[in-house]
Amino acid sequence: MIKGSRCLVTGGAGFIGRHLVDELLTRGADEIVILDSLRAGRDVAIATSARCKHLTFQLSRNCLPALRPHLDGVDYVFHLAAVKHAHALQDPDAALDANIDGTYCLARAAGEAGIERMVFASSLYVYGRMQGPAFSETETPSPSTIYGISKLAGEHLLRHCASRYGLAYNALRYFFTYGPGYSAGTGYSSVITRTCERLLLGQPPVINGDGAQVFDYLYVGDVVDATIVAAESAAVNDVFNVGSGSGTSIADLVSVIATIAGRHLPAIYGERDETFGSSRVADIRKAAERLPWRPRTSLIEGVTMTYESLTSQRKQATGDR
C-alpha cells in the first residue's frame, strides 16, 4: 500500500497538499514527487525529506507530452492542484485550463502509465445549491460557478479515463477544510484562521449578515486521512463526500473560537453576502460505509490545534516567549 510506494502529489505546496505529503512520509512512502506550479510563489521548503522531489510544473492544456514521463513508476497520484473558487471568479480561463484541461492530461497520463490509483480533490461546489438538506452523492449536481463546473468536469474526465485508459480512481468532494497552515483568505474555508488571527490581535471577530449561515467544517487531518483511505480502499471509480457530516453556523463557530481563545469580544456584524440563509452540509454515510472512513477530530479539538499553531507562529514572529 502506501508504505514503500512512489506517490505523486499535485498541489503539494498548497495547504492540504503539505499536510498530505507529511502524512505520506509518516506512513512510509518511499518517494514523493511534489508537483506544483508554485503559482502563489510558495516556498516548498516544508518537505525537506530526502524522499521528496520537487517538480515545478503547470498542469494545463497540452501538457501531456511533458507530464507523461513523470508518471512512470508512480503507484499513487493525489491530484490536489487547482485554481480555487476565489481565484476562478477573477480568472475563469485559468480555472478552466488548470482544473479541466490539466486534470484531463494528468488522468490520461496516469491511466496510460498504469498507476495503482488516482485520488482527485473535488469539491462541495459541484452540488451548486446553497440551501436544503445535507448533500448526498445520489443527487444530480448542478453547479453554476466556474469552479464548481470545473470540478464536476474533472470527475467526468476521470470516469472517461477509467473506461478509455483503465485508470483506477476515487473522487472526493471535500467540504470546508481548516487547520494549521491555512492562510486567511476571503472565503468561508478561512473563517477559522481569520477569526483566530483577529482574536490574537485583540480585534473583534467579523460576521457577515446574521451569522446563521451554516457550513460543514472538517479538520485537515481528517481530510488527509480520507484521501489516503481512498487510495487504498477496495472501493474504486466512485465519488465520496468528505465532510464532518454536521453543520455549524458562523455565529456558533465564532463563539467556539472565542471560548478557545479566552477572548469574548462582541462581534462586528457586516453586510449580508451571498451566503445569507445558506446551509451546506455533507451526508457522509457513503464514505463511512464504503471506503470506509469517518472523521475523528471534533470541531473543538481541530480549532484548538489551529489556534495553538497560530499562537506559536505569532510568538516566533514577535520573539515572545
Ligand X SMILES: NC(=O)c1ccc[n+]([C@@H]2O[C@H](COP(=O)([O-])OP(=O)(O)OC[C@H]3O[C@@H](n4cnc5c(N)ncnc54)[C@H](O)[C@@H]3O)[C@@H](O)[C@H]2O)c1
Which stretches of the chain bind ligand X, using CB under 6 A?
Answer: 10-11, 13-17, 36-40, 42, 58-60, 80-84, 98, 102, 121, 123, 174, 176-177, 189
Which C-beta is closer to ligand X: that of 11 or that of 111?
A: 11
If residue 293 lies in a helix (H) or strand (E), which one and from where to where? none
Which C-beta is closer to ligand X: that of 40 or that of 300?
A: 40
Q: Which residues contact 97 (CB under 8 A, 6 or more apart)?
A: 60, 61, 83
Pairing of strands 169-174, 76-79: unpaired
What's the min distance (Å) between Cβ of 203 and ligand X?
A: 23
Q: Angle at Cα 106 formed by Cα 59 and Cα 56, nearest 5°?
A: 40
**Is 51:29 a contact under the CB 8 Å cutoff?**
yes
What's the min distance (Å) between Cβ of 98 and ligand X?
A: 3
Report residue 73 as a C-alpha cell: 513508476
What's the min distance (Å) between Cβ of 10 and ligand X?
A: 6
CA distance 6 to 8: 7
- C-alpha 92: how far from its chain's center? 19
Q: Angle at Cα 106 formed by Cα 91 and Cα 103, nearest 5°?
A: 35
In sign, the C-alpha dihedral spanning 45, 50, 51, 57 is positive
Which C-beta is closer to ligand X: that of 144 or that of 203?
A: 144
CA distance 261 to 114: 49
Q: What is the largest CA-CA distance in the chain?
A: 58
Which C-beta is closer to ligand X: that of 175 or that of 307?
A: 175
What's the min distance (Å) between Cβ of 299 and ligand X?
A: 15
| Amino acid residing at 321 | R
Collapse the DSSP code of 141 into the 3-class scheme (helix H, G, I; strand E, B; otherwise coil) and give the result. Answer: coil
What's the min distance (Å) between Cβ of 25 and ligand X?
A: 17
Which C-beta is closer to ligand X: that of 163 or that of 186?
A: 186
Which C-beta is closer to ligand X: that of 40 or that of 66?
A: 40
DSSP annotation of 203: P
What's the min distance (Å) between Cβ of 247 and ligand X?
A: 15
What's the min distance (Å) between Cβ of 227 and ligand X?
A: 9
Which C-beta is closer to ligand X: that of 148 or that of 209?
A: 148
**Cβ-proximal residue to ligand X, closest one:** 14
